[in-house]
Chains A and B, each alone.
Chain A
Amino acid sequence: MKKKMRILWLSAISCNGNTHSFLNYPYMETFLDDFEFIYHPVIDSKYLLQDIVSKLISCDILLIEGAISREFKRADVSIVDIIEKYSKIVQKIVTVGTCATFGGIFRESGYKNTSGLHFDQEKQIENFKYLLDKTISISGCPIHPEVLVNTLYAIKKSTTLRLDGFLRPKAFYAYTVHNGCTRNEYFEYKVDNHKFGELEGCMYYEHGCQAPFTHGSCNKILWNEVNSKTRAGLPCMGCTEPSFPRQNLFSTKKNMSIPENLPVGVSKRAYLTLAGITKAFKIDRLEKKLFDD
C-alpha cells in the first residue's frame, strides 16, 4: 500500500467556505488515494478534534482555514496553541483562504488581534515569523480547489515552488484575474457601457471590477470547471488580495475620472496615453450586442 501524506485541516474563524470549495475538487477519489486527513471539518477521520488538541498526532501538512486570534478556541484550546504545537512536526503549513492568509472578512469579527498567519492585510506580523519558511499561502475567498490540491501534490512531490511576496505559488498567483476574462476586448478598447445582465462591456471602469489588479487564476482555471465571476458579469471583488474586502465594492473609485487602482504594472502616465489611443478606436463590433445580426 502506498504511503499517504497525512493532513490536519484546522478551522479557525471561518465560514467553512474553503472546506466546501475543496469538496468541489473533481478528482477526489485520486486525491484520497494519495492523502489522508487526520482531521477534517467534514470528512470522517480516524481522530476526533479532542484527540487533536489533547495529543500530538503525527502528520505531514497543516492546513489552516480562517482568521487567527489567540482568543478563538477549538475544543476549548486556543487556535494559536494548536497551530504552535503542530507547526513543529509538519513539513509544510498551508494557509487556506484569504482569512487564514490576510485576515479577510473575519479580521473584523471582534476577537482581539485577528489576522492571517503571517499577514495582517499587507503588513507582515511578528507572530509565527519562525514559520515563514514552512508556509505556503493559498489566498481566495474561497480557495479554488485545484489551486489547493495541486499545491498539496507539489508538496508531496517535494517540488520547489516559486512563491510571491505573500508566499503564494506564482504558478497560480502570477496571473491576474483579468487574464482570460472573456470581456478583455472591452477592457482593451475602453468599452465601458456595461450594464448588469449583459454579455458585453468591461466592469473595470464603472462597477468596481478589480480583476486587472488582483492576483489569481479565476479566468485561467475556471470555477466549478465552467465559469468565472467576471465571465458571468459580476465584478471581481479582489478576494485573493490582502485588501479584501474593500469598501464600496460595486463602484470604481476614481480620481479626476481615472480609476484609482490601475492594472498591475501600468503607470498613470502610461494609462492616460493608452486611454487616449484607444478612445480613437470606434470598433463597431464591440459597440453592438454580441448576438445582433
Chain B
Amino acid sequence: MIKLIEKIEGEAKLNFNFKDDKIDFVDVEFMSTRNIENILRDKRAFDALVINPRVCGICGHAHLIATVEALESCYNNLQLSNKAKAIRELTLNFELIQNHFKWFYLTMLPFFGHKQQILKATYPTQLMGKAIAALGGQYPHTSYAVVGGVVCEITQMDIIKIESYITQTLKFVEDNLVKVDSKTLLACKDADALLDFSGDLPEILIEIKKRDMLNHAKSYDRFIAFGENSFFKKGKSLKARVSHSISLKDVKESEVPSSFAKNVSYKDKYYEVGPLARAMVNKTTLVVDAHKKYGDSLFSRILARVFEILELLNHSKKLIDKIDLDEPSYIEPEFDISKLTSSGYSAVEAARGTLIHKVELEEGIIKNYEIITPTQWNLSGGTREKPGVSQKAMVGLSDIKTAELVFKSFDVCSVCTTH
C-alpha cells in the first residue's frame, strides 16, 4: 500500500509491504530535487555562502557553517579567533534548538492524541531566532559566517540580550516541556524517573509506555557523528561501545534508481545520525540509560532530541561566558580565495545529524560541490535484505499510522534529503 507522507518539508511516498499482518518492507521514495550541487558549479566560492543556506529553510544555518568550514579547509594555516568559533557555535546551537521545538510540538505531539501546539512551537523558536539574528542579522537565511570568521562585532549589550533569550527559553522548557528545575533535569540519570515528572515530554513518554510502544522503532543500534565542537564529540557507537577513530573517507554516497534521495553508508553499513547518535557518542548519562533500558527505540529517540534542547541551552550559557570580546571577529585570510585552487570538506552536527560538505575550487571557482545531509543517513532506501535505518525501524509494525510516527521520529526533511 502506497501512502503519501506529508508535512516533512515536502513529501515522500512510502510503499508498505505486509506479510502476516506485519510490515515486512517499506520502499521510501522522494519525488523531486532542486539540484543545489549543480547550481553551485562554476560559481564563485563566496557565492556558496549565500546559496547553501537555501538548501533548507529550517536548518539553513548548519549549511552555512558547513560551507564556510569546507571553504576554510581549502586553506593551509587559516587563522580563526576563538571568539568567532564560539559565535558560530552559538548560532548553530540556537538553530538546533528551534528545530527540536518545532519537531516536538508540530510533528510528534499530534501522534499522541494532542492537537498540534503551534504557539508552543513558535514561542521558543522565535526566541532562538532572535538570538541568531542578534549575531547574524536575520534568521532564516543569513550568510554572516565568512572565511576568516564572522561579520558581526558584538558588544556586552548583545551578550546580555542573548543571555536573556536563553534564560527565557530555559524558563519555557521548565514551565512546559518538563516541569522541573533545569538543573535537576540535567543531573537526572534515570530515564524512568522522567515518567514521574509532569510536562509535555513526560506525557508523551508515559503514553509510549501505556500504548506498549517501548520497544517500537528499533533499528541497527549503530550510531555515528562526525561533527566536532566544544560540545559534540566525533565517533561511532555500536551497541553502546563507543569509538572515536572514524574517517570521512569511509563514508559512501550512492544513487537509488527509484528516488531522488541518495543512500549514505559508513564502511558499507547504514548508521543512524541525530541527537540519539550524538548522545550515545557523547555518553550522555540520561540518554545512555534510556538506551540501556529501551534500546534505540522511539522512546530513546524522542527523549534524546528533546533533552538536547536543555543541554544546548546550558552549554550555550557556558560558551558565552568564555567569549573574550577583545578578540577579533574576523581575521582576513592572507590569500585571496579568488586565487585558490584547492579542495576541502567539513562535517558539522546539524539538527538532524551529521552534515557533510565537500568542495573543489579552481582559482576560486567552484568546480564540484557535494552535500551529504543528515536525513540521507537515516532515510537511506535500502533493500529487503539490507534495509536503511528508518526502513528497518518500521519493519514488524502492524499499522501504517504507527509506521508514519516512527518514520517522522527521525525528523524527516524532504528538501534536505533531496537538496
List residues of chain A with CB under 8 Å of any chain B CB: 11, 13-21, 23-26, 28-29, 32, 41-44, 48-50, 72-76, 105-106, 108-110, 141-142, 195-199, 218, 223-234, 237, 239, 245, 247-251, 291
Contacts and interface: CB of A to CB of B under 8 A. Distances in A.
Contact of A226 (B4, B118, B130, B141): B130
Question: Which of B110, B126, B135, B328 gathers the greatest number of chain A CB atoms within 10 Å?
Answer: B126
How many B residues are at the interface, by size bracket?
35 or more
A106 B415 CA distance: 12
B415 A15 contact: yes
A229 B142 contact: yes
Given A28-B119, A234-B144, A247-B47, A228 B137 contact: yes
B138 A237 contact: no
DSSP majority for the A interface? loop
B229 interface: no
Contact of A233 (B7, B46, B106, B151): B151
A249 B329 CA distance: 21
The 10 A-B pairs at the shortest CB distance, nearest first, are namely A197-B330, A197-B329, A232-B137, A223-B138, A17-B57, A224-B133, A16-B57, A229-B137, A233-B151, A196-B330
Given A106-B34, A237-B50, A249-B46, A223 B133 contact: yes
Contacts of B150: 196-197
A142 B56 CA distance: 11
B31 to A, nearest CB: 7
Interface stretch (B37-45, B185-193, B297-305, B396-404): B37-45
A24 B129 contact: yes
Interface in B149-176: 149-153, 155, 161
A141 B141 contact: yes
A126 to B, nearest CB: 25
A197 B57 contact: no
Nearest to A289: B153
Interface of B: 4, 6-7, 9-11, 31-36, 38-39, 43-44, 46-47, 49-51, 54-58, 60, 84, 102, 106, 110, 115-116, 118-119, 121-122, 125-126, 129-130, 132-144, 146, 148-153, 155, 161, 328-330, 332, 415
Contacts of B51: 105, 245
B10 A17 contact: no
A109 B144 contact: no
A196 B148 contact: yes
Given A73-B31, A142-B141, A249-B46, 8 more contacts: A196-B332, A197-B152, A224-B138, A227-B136, A231-B137, A232-B138, A233-B137, A245-B51
A18 B415 CA distance: 13
Contacts of B106: 42-44
Contacts of A49: 4, 6, 11
